[in-house]
Every structure is written in C-alpha cells, then in structure tokens.
Amino acid sequence: MLLTGKTVIVTGAGGGLGAGIAAVCSREGANVVVADIRGQAARDVADSLPGDALAVHCDVGDDGAQAELVQNAVAAFGRVDGLVNNAGINFAKPFLETTAADWEHIIRVDLRAVFFLTQKVCRQILTQSPGGGSVVNIASVHAHAAMPGAGPYDAAKAGVVMMGKSFALEMAPHNIRVNAISPGLLDTQIWQDLQDAAPSPEECLDFWRTNIPIGRVIAPEEIGELAAFLLSDRSASITGANIYADGGMTAQLISQEPYTSKPIEG
C-alpha cells in the first residue's frame, strides 16, 4: 500500500471529492484526518473508512480552527505526513453583480485557507523525525482557462497553483513536496449545482458531454488515486507540479453554455 504508516489530513472531506480522496488514502494504509465544516458529515465519512481515521469539525477559513486541526491530528496519530487542501466553495455570478462580500467569502476559503493551513502543516513536519512530507492542493481547470461569471473562483484557483509552486521551492530543501491537481468536472455537489442552474439536467449533460473528450464526469475516487500517489514516496521527484485530471477538457477549446444559468453563490 502506498501510504502505510503515514498520517494525512484531508479538508472538505465530509462529502464529494474530499470523501473520495479520504477513502483512497485510507485504502492505501494512511491514518486519515477527515476535516470538514460539517461535523456530522466528517464523522460519517471517518466511520466509513477501512483504516484508522479521525473526524475533526473545522472551518478552514479560521486560523484558530486550522491550528486545532493540526493539533488534533498530532494528538491522535503522533505526526502529520501529508495534507490535501480540498475544501472549497464554488461560485458563478455575473462580474457586474459580484459584491465585495462575495469576493471575500471565496478568497477566504479557496485561497487564504490553503496558504495558512499549508504553513501550519509544514511547520509541524519540520519538528518531526523522520522528516519530510507532501502537500496536495486541489486547484481546478479554472486555473488554466476562465468561464463567464467565475472571476473570484478563477482567481483563487490560479492563485492556489502559483502559491504551491512558491511553497515547493522553499520547502524542497526540507524534503517537503507541494503539488496541485486540477480536476475537470467531477461527480460532486458542483455537478449537481450546474444541473440545477441549467434549464434542464438533460441540456446540461448534453453540453458537457460534448466538451469533455472522455464523454463523462470524473468520479472523486479517480482524483483520490492521483492524490494518494502524490502523497506517497513513489512521487519523490515530483514537486511544484500542477497535474490536470480533466478528461481532456483543457486540451480543447470549450464552447460557452447554449443556455443561461441561474447564479451559484456557494
């Protein structure tokens, strides 16, 4: 197994992509810290995992909650070896209607939280023996190309990629690797939000099928497989990378939706 003996924190793991990542990490032998602002959802996921797991109620946008998350992980398992910054908020709203509150809300969770939780985890790893660790940041195809109405989200995800490159350079001498995964359209709540915002689920599905070369949305566990590899020692030479796991979306030009969707405010 790829992660035997390692302790991995996964944020936003109370459902969707985070739950899929947590499941794969647990299957691969990790002690998994399931962190989510939805406390009961985190507990449900932790209880479902095959290996040792800890559920932690955590608002990743809160610095104190971040510190408690790391402390709880160390108290339970003695160390932290990996972090998956998965927690995030989706957003779609016309540029001219986007408010300062919208901006602050998205940046707080999707960008600022990644910076400061990564900082706390890296500080913890530096105190450990043996040292070394791995951070995986969940970015998005939005880090590569934009869609109308997604300005704050686009900015946050592009920022996650570039911050990660900076972290990777600084942490490389300490054997801490930092990489990003940029998923395409996933079978999570975001996919449900897109269908709900469209005139009909059928029109939404037809549109996306024509714009994803593999012809389908991606299962969370597929991203989990990649995350587990990047957290493992088998990826020891990979740092500062951003890997697109998008079914080919960014390899082609994507047309705009042939319909008008309702706002999505997270």
Active site residues: 153
φ, ψ of residue 148 in degrees (nearest 5): -55, 135
User: What is the C-alpha separation between 198 and 215, in angstroms, rounded?
Assistant: 19
68: Cβ contacts below 8 Å, ≥ 6 apart:
56, 58
- Cα separation of 35 and 72, whole Å? 11
- Cα–Cα dist 72/212, whole Å: 40
Closest CA to 150 of 113, 97, 112, 196: 97
CA atoms of 253 and 256, how far apart (whole Å): 10
Cis ω before 258 (30° cut-off from 0): no
| Alpha carbons 42 and 240: distance in angstroms, whole number | 29
Backbone φ, ψ for residue 162 (5° rounding): -70, -35
Tokens of 223: 């991203």
Instruction: Report yes or no: 255 and 212 within 8 Å, Cβ to Cβ.
Output: no
